[in-house]
Copies of this chain bind each other. A is one copy, B any other.
């Protein structure tokens, strides 16, 4: 699969993730083994102190890592998350979050990614979360 195909496939699948749309997340860079997802600040993604909710941070990190793996998968396959872990390094405040998913170890069955999340505030960029994730490649499932 060319990276052009992978890009189109990731964009099509991202648009079918009801949660990403509902949170207001947008797909950024998509390259082989690398996907960025942006999440603008809005009250709908906060916890009780007004920071980005760890669940919102994790949601875009999980999607970024899953799609980073998916760019390397053959056609007629789907991707599911097996597990992930997130360390919240600092309260997440800013104009938007940027989650970066990077494939650390590709594989036929399992792929491992690294998940980095930054809070961007004007021209400041602070790492607010770091994680790792395992994905499994399965036979294609209908997307809706």
Which residues of A are in contact with B by a Cβ distance under 8 Å? 13-14, 16-23, 42-50, 53-56, 58-60, 62-63, 78, 80-91, 104-105, 109-110, 112, 114, 127, 130-132, 134, 136, 141-144
Contact = CB atoms under 8 A, between A and B. Distances in A.
B17 A46 contact: yes
Q: Max chain B CB contacts within 10 Å: which of A14, A45, A63, A87?
A: A87
B53 A18 contact: yes
A18 B104 CA distance: 29
| Assembly stoichiometry (copies) | 4
Given A19-B44, A83-B88, 5 more contacts: A20-B53, A53-B59, A55-B56, A83-B86, A87-B134
19 contacts: A16-B48, A18-B46, A21-B44, A22-B45, A47-B63, A50-B144, A55-B62, A80-B88, A82-B82, A82-B87, A82-B110, A83-B134, A84-B85, A87-B132, A89-B104, A104-B127, A105-B127, A109-B136, A131-B132
